Structure 1
Amino acid sequence: MELPRLSVIIPHLNEPGDLIRCLRSLDAQRTDISLFEIIVVDNGSKVLPTDACKAIPNVRLERELTPGPGPARNRGASVARADLLAFIDADCLAEPGWARSIIDFMDAHPDVAFLGGAIGIIPSDPGRLSGIEAYERVYSYRAKLYVERHGFAATGNMAVRADVFRAVGPFGGIAAMEDTEWGQKATAAGWRAAYLGEAKVLTPSCKSFSELARRWDRHVAHEFRKIGGGHAALARWIVTSILVAASPLAAPLQIMRTEHLSGPRSRWLALVCLTKVRLYRARRMLDLALHHDTAKFVGAWNREKS
């Protein structure tokens, strides 16, 4: 049997409706059935997404009961048959040409070990963004910045050579920011990363500020765990929290210039949401500095859906 050029790996937890839409967006790109395989890895859903996977030809369903998207992706990588691995989330839609652009880019750039693609927002009403949607369009998925400045690719849209993945090692568990940690480990070891804007996926925006806040809870808690002990480190953390609270003062010019928004209404809503987010982050940072209770923020990935 001819081996696929690309193995697409999708972690899943209690999102069968989103999953089938993701699978359809991928299947539409399989002009040649041998071009890529699709591997769905369920991470402990109440009901296995068997029907969703059966609705699309040649989808392999695996199970990984260790909680977290990292272990689920590791399971998919362990059974993948292609020399290239691509990771996409179950609630994402792959834009036309996504798979082919990854294959062609990696063929043309043998020095690139892994890449991050573009991530956009699916608005509920494209003509009238909510404040959260306007904010997320500008600030939530800065995939190019992640790759070029911070040395990692968001695993909602990432591709890596299989031999590089094995050399760097698996993604971390549910208590880890697995994409950040894996990518920075890879780049620190000398593996080259690249950004590929042509490989784009779309993802739903957060539906409420509380959902957005939960995302930041986890991120801030992980950052706090990395600062180390000592009074000097804690003092720097507190100073950083004050700078975060003040940072919206510098945001209006960036929001005015962004190409991701149009019209004064969406720009104003983005600024309002940004201010609310930054003040929330600063408050959470100070709370962690006082109480050090990170465990309650880093031990879940979509577990409220279980």
Structure 2
Amino acid sequence: MDDIRADAGHAPLISVIIPVYNDTARLSLCLGLLQAQTIADRAEIIVVDNGSTEDLSAVKSRFGTVRWLHEAKPGSYAARNTGINAACGHILAFTDSDCLPAPDWLEQGIAPLMGDNPPSFVGGAIDLVTTRPSGLSPAELFDLASGFPQHRFVEHVHFAMTANMLTLANTMKWVGPFATTMKSGGDREWGNRAWSMVGPGRYVDAARVGHPTRSSPPEVLKRVRRVAGGERDRKPGWRDCLAFCARQLPPPRRAILDIAAINPARASWPAKAGAMLFAYRTRLALIRYRLELQFGGESTRS
């Protein structure tokens, strides 16, 4: 990859865009790993504060080369769009403040975009990182099993989660920015748009980031609430609402099979049974949240 390096005076090849909302400790870990990338000399890092109430001054002082922006409109997609508008890079790379990029994440992720026939976007692997090797809670086992199936998302649903997504800046200009009306699911809407307008995306297993599992029911249910909100924002009608709720009524077969497949050294069968029950509880929570939104509630980012 030596041919992609350039003099310090040149524009950055890659702009890494990270929205943040009250996540200072994990953001510091993420920024440290980004500054240790194999091609860190070709990247600019842009952090967009989305209205945090935490004091960011310490992390700003520690990472003085990072570009710090602010977006007052709530929602990570609004923050990402602010980063996109300020980016100087030929390639845009997206991750989140709680992610842990592998040392060669950028080098592996940009490779398909440097060729003669680049994909509309690249989605890399998202590895779940647990709090401990065994004794996991039902919520954490469920999150570990369901996690982030990025390969399936790219190949079958035609999008990449923005925890690990890269695209050419010119593709973003052509396709347009993320939909700011959505607080969840905007990556899916954008990916589907890009696939239709530009061509297929590509999954790159070697471009990896870590992501901590959610270890408690409230943490998982925050994600469930965001999913329900994104679904309402994407398809707001009553017919779509009822169809979505009906799809959640059967037991979550895929999650149950994935939980069953967890290494026995990590979870006993009673623990797996608890996680399977929790998985169905999340289905019921999705129905409840989706109906609440249909009756006038507001989708949230947390």
Instruction: Report the equivalent of 1:83.
Output: 90
Contact in 2 for aligned 1:221/1:294 (Cα 8 Å): no
Instruction: Report the equivalent of 2:99.
Output: 92
Instruction: Report the equivalent of 1:131.
Output: 138
**Cα distance in 2 between the residues matched to 1:47 and 1:196:** 35
**Cα distance in 2 between the residues matched to 1:279 and 1:235:** 18
Q: How does 1:1-306 map to 2 (within 5 A)?
A: 1-30=9-38, 33=41, 35-47=42-54, 49-56=56-63, 58-108=65-115, 110-173=117-180, 175-176=182-183, 177-224=185-232, 226-227=234-235, 229=237, 236-243=243-250, 246-248=251-253, 252-256=256-260, 258=261, 261-263=262-264, 266=267, 268=269, 269-282=271-284, 284-285=286-287, 288-289=290-291, 292-293=294-295, 295-296=297-298, 298=299, 300-302=300-302
Mean Cα deviation higher: 96-105 or 142-151? 96-105
Change (3 A) 1:235 1:54: closer
Change (3 A) 1:228 1:122: closer
Gaps of 5+ in 2: 1-8
Contact in 2 for aligned 1:241/1:281 (Cα 8 Å): yes
TM-score computed with the length of structure 1 as normaliser: 0.84
Tell me how far 1:198 sits from its aligned partner.
0.9
**Cα distance in 1 between the residues matched to 2:141 and 2:94:** 26
Report the 3-state secondary structure (helix = DSSP H, G, I; strand = E; otherwise coil) of the residue aligned with 2:89: coil
Contact in 1 for aligned 2:123/2:164 (Cα 8 Å): yes
CA RMSD between the two structures: 2.6
Contact in 1 for aligned 2:252/2:280 (Cα 8 Å): yes
Tell me how far 1:27 sits from its aligned partner.
0.9
Residues 233-282 of structure 1, C-alpha deviations (whole Å, 9 max, x = no match): 56644532322xx334x7554444x4xx3116526334532432323323
Gaps of 5+ in 1: none
**Cα distance in 1 between the residues matched to 2:156 and 2:131:** 31
Give the letter aligned to residue 107 of structure 1: M
**Cα distance in 2 between the residues matched to 1:173 and 1:254:** 33
Question: How many residues are matched?
Answer: 292
Change (3 A) 1:235 1:191: same
Give 4+ residue runs of structure 1 displaced > 6 Å after superposition: none
Mean Cα deviation higher: 165-174 or 105-114? 105-114
Report the 3-state secondary structure (helix = DSSP H, G, I; strand = E; otherwise coil) of the residue aligned with 2:121: strand
Give the letter aligned to residue 252 of structure 2: S
**Cα distance in 1 between the residues matched to 2:52 and 2:241:** 39
Report the 3-state secondary structure (helix = DSSP H, G, I; strand = E; otherwise coil) of the residue aligned with 1:295: coil
Report the 3-state secondary structure (helix = DSSP H, G, I; strand = E; otherwise coil) of the residue aligned with 1:152: coil
Give the letter aligned to residue 263 of structure 1: P
Contact in 2 for aligned 1:50/1:61 (Cα 8 Å): no
**Cα distance in 2 between the residues matched to 1:36 and 1:291:** 40
Give the letter aligned to residue 155 of structure 1: T
Give the letter aligned to residue 301 of structure 2: W
Contact in 2 for aligned 1:255/1:267 (Cα 8 Å): no
Identical-pair percentage: 29
Change (3 A) 1:196 1:68: same
